[in-house]
Structure 1
């Protein structure tokens, strides 16, 4: 089967990945000859900088300068070469893959595309080459995938092979979904750049609500002036950054009060509020009751009631 990511058979049939090569490589100054292969390739720049030249046609070349945290995807049979210029170096992680008939518990590419519109869009919009910035989401998946492939090869046949195949398939599925998300965000940012900044700010809040956060820190994370971030955030969400953070913290507090055995007195610390009195005021503002009243009003699941007594066995 053709190694391209853009073929109708992937959307019509039951196919999964087949990996041809996967490796880390430290490159010093070097100019590679143009080459091509019947597989889709991902070149991820871990550190340093480099240039990738892609031959778009017989008389046309496109030159991409990559820096740390960027990746380039190359479709199958697209001539390309790597250039590491004098005085520079780079470290890369490369994965080359094609496709084979799918079997087993992992969803095929077609099933994934049916469930995720973003992936379906990626597969239906062919490109010869695509450069994407990565907030390390793809890198973590790529590292895990390559490690699993390495271990799978060492394990060989038997139960280890079966387990490895499932994990490899799941990691490849996550890789495609994350690439599709990055591509969608890239397209949206080219049309509505403010929306991308707001999304990144929201992601930062969800990952850091458990500690003290200031608006200037959020703005620095997304590389914007605090005043500008405040304006576009309110325009897109209808809330200020502080109000959104407080709402998020109260939702987390409700979850912990209702679904955990954490003492009420400690919940404030779990959601990044140092003052218990202020936490109680905020909780009442957002829910209409105190944390104690909220917990007492729920019939919470008790793990002690659900666990069988070992002595009865």
Structure 2
């Protein structure tokens, strides 16, 4: 595809595969962005760009073009971007700091909002209504917050959040906890904590918590006389069938089989990896 430009801003979100977006920035300087699944690029209006899909690497993307126009007099149903910017500093910062292009990563929240917006526009045949404006406002806010997270969270600070989350998991694994609670404990948005944790440990928060609970269950099975039927409660899992399902998934056997076949302290030799990930 040759270089082209649009009168409106453009969002290109990659749902599957990979692609290259070349952007002609200031003074004719070319910037190349290689996008993969879960990434998006925000292009300013009238910025020359081109999409390159390499042979053998098909991609599927969502594409939306938009512009922000002043409210019509007496239009009570429309949302004022200026009003949102006053309430949300990240949005004000995005609007006050124009750039030719901006690449962000979000495999969870942005695609959901973007899909809803595209479906609503299709349903309305491109015409706006209150729902379109609400979804568009949500999309802008999510993009603004992602931008702030990317700009202001360095590797050292990100590592701090991950360590704090791991510490919280080790202190609270024995009760029912959910990702929003963990995120609140470390003062981060749940979606952002999920991305940081996966990036730094290679596993999700839920997977880490389950592995930790199974490690603790193995310790109880080999180092205590706690009945098998009660161990689920000791590791914070309310459903005993679910505990047995998880234990088999992480250990390859049932809790009873593990207790009968394991040597004392054998949990130290066959851990599922939660503590190794913490150390790494």
Q: TM-score, normalised by structure 2?
A: 0.58
Indicate how the Cα distance of structure 1 residues 178 and 274 shifts in structure 2: closer, same or farther if over 3 A, else same: same
1:149–1:76 distance in 2 versus 1, CA, 3 Å: same
Large movers: runs of 4+ above 3 Å: 195-204, 218-221, 223-226, 271-275
Quote the Cα distance in structure 2 between the aligned partners of 1:184 and 1:108. Answer: 21
Question: 2:43 maps to what in 1?
Answer: 74
Deviations 1:208-265 (A, max 9, x none): 99xxxxxxxx899524349xx9xxxxxxxxxxx99xxxxxxxxxxxxxxxxxxxxxxx
- Secondary structure of residue in 1 paired with 2:20: strand
**Could you list the per-position Cα deviations for residues 21-48 of structure 1 after superposition, in whole angstroms to 9, with x for gaps in the alignment?**
xxxxxxxxxxx10001111000000100
Matches within 5 A, 1:151-166: 151-153=123-125, 165-166=129-130
1:38 aligns with 2:7: yes
User: Pick from 167, 173, 178: which aligns with 2:137?
Assistant: 173
Query: Unmatched 5+ residue regions in structure 1?
Result: 1-31, 155-160, 210-217, 230-240, 243-267, 276-313
SS of structure 2 residue aligned to 1:50: strand
Q: 2-side partners of 1:200 and 1:93: how far apart?
A: 33
Matches within 5 A, 1:156-235: 165-190=129-154, 192-194=157-159, 197=162, 205-206=179-180, 222-225=198-201
Name the structure where strand makes up a greater proportion of residues. Answer: 1
Secondary structure, counterpart of 1:100 in structure 2: coil
Contact 1:185–1:196 (8 Å) recurs in 2: no
Q: Is the 8 A contact 1:189 1:195 kept in 2?
A: no
Tell me if 1:98 matches 2:67: yes
- 2:120 aligns with 148
- Measured after TM superposition, the shift of residue 166 of structure 1 is 0.5
SS at match of 2:200: coil
Change (3 A) 1:167 1:79: same
Give the Å deviation of 1:186: 0.5
1:9 counterpart residue number: none
Matched, 1:61 2:25: no
RMSD: 3.5
TM-score (normalizing by structure 1): 0.53
